[in-house]
Amino acid sequence: MSRKRKLRFECTGCGGCCVGRPNSKLEYYVAVTPAERERIRKFLGVSPAWFRRRYLQRFDDGQHSLRWNGDRCVFLDGEKRCRIYPVRPTQCVTYPFWPEIVESRFGWRAEARHCEGINRGAAVPLVHVRRQLARQRRALKLSFK
């Protein structure tokens, strides 16, 4: 991340990060590592086979992600709350500090249209942003296993 300006973010719990974007041709997914898959499965108390069938999808390139239920994450409930919040994947934990969002002013501004927590609250220390970016990149690589 080369930018110097400070990013402000304070999660409001709106659930905007867990739903697709209206009129978007983009495909949304939440990548999950083998360790995250196992942690979520145990949290739900389901068998490995049931978890794979009901909650996972595997792309042709080998990447694993959580399934979506229409335009939303399968774990987002009717009150816009995450049913697996204590064990949510790294991609969820690190939002909105993803490379495609923070590495350009356009990405941050565009995401702010969908996330009411962006540009709210105190500035996030640059060291935290960099840590989250590194964590997200590592998890993304592991999601292909």
Question: Where are the chain's structural domains?
Answer: 7-142
Most confidently predicted of 1-5, 7-11, 107-111: 7-11
Show contacts of 75-83: CB within 8 Å, 24+ apart. Answer: 75/18, 76/15, 76/18, 76/19, 80/13, 80/14, 80/15, 80/18, 81/13, 81/15, 82/15, 82/18
* Strand boundaries in the chain, DSSP class E: 7-9, 30-31, 56-58, 64-66, 68-69, 72-73, 118-124
What would the pLDDT profile of 24-65 be if each residue is shown by its tens digit?
555 678 999 999 999 999 999 999 999 999 999 998 898 899
> Hey, which residues does 28 pair with through a beta bridge?
none
Q: Is residue 9 within 8 Å of 121, Cβ to Cβ? A: yes
End-to-end CA separation in angstroms for the chain: 27
Confidence (pTM): 0.86
